[in-house]
Homo-oligomer: A and B are copies of this chain.
Amino acid sequence: MSIPISRHHEGDTHQKVQPRTLYRDVGMLQKSLAPVTSADQFKSPEMLNKPRASVEIYNFFSHEARLRQPSSLKAGSAGLPLNIISLSTGRPSPDTYPFHAMDFTFTDPQLGAALEAGVTAKSCPTGFQTRTASVARNEPAAAIDIAIALSYGYSQGHEQLIQYLTTHISLVHSPPYSDWEVCLTVGNTSALEITLRNFANPGDSILVEEYTYSGAIEVARPLGISLIPTQMDNCGPCPSSLDRTLSSWAVDYPGRPKPRILYTIPTGQNPTGITQPLERRLAILKVAEAHDLLVLEDDPYYYLQFPKSDDSYFSTIIPSYLALCRTGRVIRLDSTSKILAPGLRLGWLTAPKTVVEAYQASHDLGVVHPSGLSQLVTFKLLSETWGHGGFEEWLQSLAQHYQHKANGTLHACRKLLGTGPLGTVCSWSTIQAGMFIWLKISCAQYPRLNDKFQTTKSIETIRLEIEDEIYSNALERGVLCSKGSFFEVPALPRSARAKTEEQSSTELSTGHRRGWQDLNVHFRLTFASEDETDVVKGLETLAGTLKDIFEL
């Protein structure tokens, strides 16, 4: 089904949520040689009248960020009038692109609801409502055409998409300061890597949750950056632990620069599934203010918060760190990977303008910008087909879909892992967002534990052996789980005195786990990629594996 779409600004069929004052409609944008854009062009007067961010970003820059300069060729051609003849940049004429036209058929925003009802693309390949957006090589009357989308673009991202995102961010987060900026990224992993390079020198330390995204651990290591774990409870990282680490830094880690960044995944955390409540976020921000930290908010699961009411979705979800911090010390990472499709390799970053400029300079000297094709299809979908209201509807129904799957999975966990003899071995927390459940397996009942302790192996080696035994046995039986140890952040060795004290205790060096009496392993379980029947089948297999290993 093809419906005519508005080409000049946001799609007009789902405009139910945003009041007119949330953005400034600047109409059709100019198509210039190398357009320079900025969120400022599209912010409402109310937004522009807020006070500016007060954090001195330049003080946080790494050596590398200070040395980096924007591309001389791009600087030379930026913002020039349209009638200039360019004998300058090696930019092929769009006449030489072999791409003539493209049609994209999108599903309507109610897909999530259909999925929740058990209708999948496989079971009902033609049952979804769809709309088709077309694009030709040269369309002078369109916001974007193939000639623009497939040419070299601006490192911040195509200006029409920046326009859409500026309104979206105003709508959802309404940052409490005026001079925020947004730029596209090629995904949160890339943005994380660029963050570490822009804001930490080799030898520096970054604060993280004690269990964190394995990619963050792997990104930091080759850059020579240490990760400092912050103790977690059911609400996420503990403000007291964070404050303690920072307050005793000079004693514990003499000679090491004090950390200046906290990396956190506040919603549906990877791997624990935890969503930080509002109070926790405010308490963490208080510590960040006290110790002058930047907060890197990696939030790909933000829009997978399970709906609690039928109210407008954006009004019911927990505020982001970006929405809460008035001083501008938050760098927020959003991704299309979990809400549209990971293969787009497209995300966006929101932060004070000085921060965003550093990312743009990094992009100019690396990825340049996300695929123009990914930008094109995302713009056609979000701006021209769905509009802001449609995107909200999509996210709400997608979150409902994950809620439905989570409920089913948690129900199966209770039945298969939480009752009978496994009930004393397995435990997990319920979740309010995202796609992960953090399964804790107590090793106290592990039958060969005493044999293992009679060897010369360390407690940590024994723990990893038990984890691997469960992992390998489950895999042999046909189910793949993620080892918890992938996500564990080892503690940095403290100063000599603190170290001696540690060695004389029975605590494990990683700080996560107390004595061997409390020996635990974790597995990260997800219901994201398999259908519900297979999730249950997988959990049955895992339960059988555990029963055999624990001889229950």
Give me the interface of A with B, judged by CB distance under 8 Å. Answer: 63-65, 67-69, 71-73, 76-77, 80, 83-107, 109, 111-112, 115, 120-122, 125, 128, 130, 136-138, 149-153, 186-187, 189-190, 193, 214-215, 218-219, 221-224, 270, 337-338, 340-346, 364-374, 377, 381, 394, 398, 401, 435-436, 475, 478-483, 486, 524-531, 534-535, 537-539, 541-542
> Are A366's CB and B475's CB within 8 A?
no
From known contacts A186-B186, A486-B76, infer whether A344 and B368 are also in contact, taking CB-CB under 8 Å. no
Q: Can you add 9 more A-B contacts, CB < 8 Å, to A86-B480, A87-B542?
A: A64-B223, A67-B224, A73-B215, A85-B534, A87-B526, A87-B538, A153-B343, A186-B186, A189-B366
10 residue pairs bridging A and B, Cβ less than 8 Å apart:
A69-B221, A72-B218, A73-B486, A87-B480, A87-B538, A89-B529, A92-B528, A98-B341, A186-B368, A344-B371
> Are B222's CB and A67's CB within 8 A?
yes
A250 to B268 alpha-carbon distance, docked (Å): 56
> Are A343's CB and B88's CB within 8 A?
no
Secondary structure type dominating chain A contacts: mixed
Q: Of B76, B151, B214, which contacts A482 at CB under 8 A?
A: B76
From known contacts A189-B365, A371-B371, infer whether A115 and B88 are also in contact, taking CB-CB under 8 Å. no
Query: Which residues of chain B are near A367, meaning CB under 8 Å?
Result: 186-187, 189-190, 345, 367
Nearest-CB distance from A257 to chain B (Å)?
Answer: 17
Q: Of B77, B112, B345, B486, which contacts A370 at CB under 8 A?
A: B345
Most B Cβ at <10 Å: residue of A130, A189, A483: A189
Most B Cβ at <10 Å: residue of A95, A106, A111, A337: A95
From known contacts A93-B531, A125-B137, A221-B67, infer whether A150 and B76 are also in contact, taking CB-CB under 8 Å. no
> Are B76's CB and A480's CB within 8 A?
yes
Q: Of B67, B222, B373, which contacts A373 at CB under 8 A?
A: B373
> Are A84's CB and B371's CB within 8 A?
no
From known contacts A88-B482, A103-B103, infer whether A93 and B528 are also in contact, taking CB-CB under 8 Å. yes
> Are B190's CB and A366's CB within 8 A?
yes
Query: Which residues of chain B are near A95, meaning CB under 8 Å?
Result: 115, 120-122
> Are A99's CB and B93's CB within 8 A?
no
From known contacts A90-B526, A98-B394, A115-B96, infer whether A345 and B369 are also in contact, taking CB-CB under 8 Å. yes
Query: Which residues of chain B are near A99, meaning CB under 8 Å?
Result: 104-107, 341, 377
> Are A479's CB and B84's CB within 8 A?
yes
Q: Of B150, B526, B541, which contacts A343 at CB under 8 A?
A: B150
> Are A371's CB and B342's CB within 8 A?
no
A138 to B122 alpha-carbon distance, docked (Å): 7
Query: Which residues of chain B are near A153, meaning CB under 8 Å?
Result: 343
> Are B102's CB and A121's CB within 8 A?
no
Nearest-CB distance from A405 to chain B (Å)?
Answer: 9
A125 to B68 alpha-carbon distance, docked (Å): 43
A137 to B127 alpha-carbon distance, docked (Å): 13
> Are B150's CB and A342's CB within 8 A?
yes
A190 to B69 alpha-carbon distance, docked (Å): 16
A478 to B87 alpha-carbon distance, docked (Å): 11
Of all chain B residues, the one with the shortest Cβ separation from A220 is B365
Of all chain B residues, the one with the shortest Cβ separation from A147 is B121
Nearest-CB distance from A291 to chain B (Å)?
Answer: 27
> Are A121's CB and B94's CB within 8 A?
yes
4 closest A-B pairs by CB: A343-B372, A371-B371, A150-B343, A150-B341
> Are B486's CB and A84's CB within 8 A?
no
> Are B98's CB and A381's CB within 8 A?
yes
Of all chain B residues, the one with the shortest Cβ separation from A219 is B365
A117 to B150 alpha-carbon distance, docked (Å): 24
Of all chain B residues, the one with the shortest Cβ separation from A539 is B87
Q: Of B69, B115, B214, B528, which contacts A218 at CB under 8 A?
A: B69
> Are A530's CB and B85's CB within 8 A?
yes
From known contacts A85-B534, A480-B88, infer whether A102 and B105 are also in contact, taking CB-CB under 8 Å. yes
> Are B84's CB and A475's CB within 8 A?
yes
Nearest-CB distance from A90 to chain B (Å)?
Answer: 5
A92 to B526 alpha-carbon distance, docked (Å): 10
> Are B365's CB and A345's CB within 8 A?
no
Nearest-CB distance from A390 to chain B (Å)?
Answer: 10
